[in-house]
Amino acid sequence: MNRNKITLIGGGQIGGNLALISAQKELGDVVLFDIPQAEGMVKGKALDIMQLRPHDGYDSLIQGSSNYEDIADSDVVIITAGIPRKPGMSRDDLLSINLKIISDVAKNVKKYAPNAFVIVVSNPLDAIVYAFHKVSGFRKNKVVGMAGALDSSRFKAFLAMETGYSVQDIQCMVLGGHGDTMVPITRLATIGGIPAEDLISKERLEAIVERTRFAGGEIVKLFGNGSAFYAPAASAIEMAESYLKDKKRIIPCASLCEGEFGVNGYFIGVPTVIGKNGVEKIIEFSLLNHEKEELMKTLEAVKKTVSETGL
């Protein structure tokens, strides 16, 4: 039996955790890829995980590489490549550098892994996933951005922390761009099937929504240098696993909308069915007026960043 092949482009903190979780879930063999200057680091991480496998008996093979030929015929490619935002650096500075990186990645993925399902994690997410799609020419069902999966997971975590109930029994959804304008839909949040609005006061719920919007920034402040990596890695793996196992999970992802929710030609966080054909469906539902307004606001933010790519 052939194992699936998973390529992780970018061997930093998220990349390393993606490799670890892929091995633990035995989703397939893993190539942890980075630029030649970081070859020793990814080879070291791969070897370290290979030596961890006997403890729990995982048999996935993990390989570090800086040679694009090693990503050939990957089933899934998860992209975390790019530089993180440093103090004093504007979003535009970040975008111009990461745009160059994603363009190079897109050309190589197209060349060596043209049939892969691609999950983009690099920031600024909404523009980078758009750029990958444009440069690679991949079909819209094969490219998706990891945003809502993480934002919804953070929303769930905060609801669980607030109530003391199990995260397993919490359902919620965050739509829109991956940034401060994201739209947590509070009326759809349930705890054990009971509306969260019936269990948590309006003020506390609003505070949780606000914390969800700025959750990434909260971690950046605490670290002082760098950004979140455990939860982002788990979020991307949830998407990859739904594709590899044809699970048909409904996950809020940055998918290319062509008319859904009144959005046309942009990748934005929407409820997305991920199965063996990649993005199989975007599920539309009725939004209240204030939710529509918030979604349009987040769309404006996405449009602005995308226009800066010049693609």
| Cα–Cα distance for residue pair 270/284, rounded to 1 Å | 8
The average pLDDT across 44-49 equals 98
- Say whether domain 148-307 belongs to CATH 3.90.110.10: yes
Could you give phi then psi for residue 221, rounded to 5 degrees? -60, -45
**197-226 pLDDT per residue, tens:** 999 999 999 999 999 999 998 998 999 888
Contact between 106 and 137 (Cβ < 8 Å): no
% residues pLDDT > 70 (the chain): 97
DSSP letter, residue 297: H
Structure-block tokens of residue 301: 């933010």
- Which residues are part of the catalytic machinery? 178
State the average pLDDT over residues 10-32. Answer: 98
Q: Which of 303, 299, 249 is nearest to 274 (CA)?
A: 249
pLDDT tens digits along 161-194: 999 999 999 999 999 988 888 999 999 999 999 9
CATH tag, 5-145: 3.40.50.720
Domain ranges for the chain: 5-145, 148-307
Cβ atoms of residues 45 and 64 within 8 Å: yes
Band (pLDDT 50/70/90 cuts) for residue 87 is low
pLDDT tier, 122 (very low <50, low <70, confident <90, very high otherwise): very high
**pLDDT value at 76 more than 80:** yes
Residue pair 18/236 in contact by the 8 Å Cβ criterion:
yes
Reported as a single tens digit per residue, the pLDDT across 276-307 is 999 999 999 999 999 999 999 999 999 999 99
Q: What is the mean pLDDT of residues 76-102?
A: 85
Q: What is the pLDDT of residue 94?
A: 84
Q: Mean pLDDT across the stretch 154-166?
A: 98
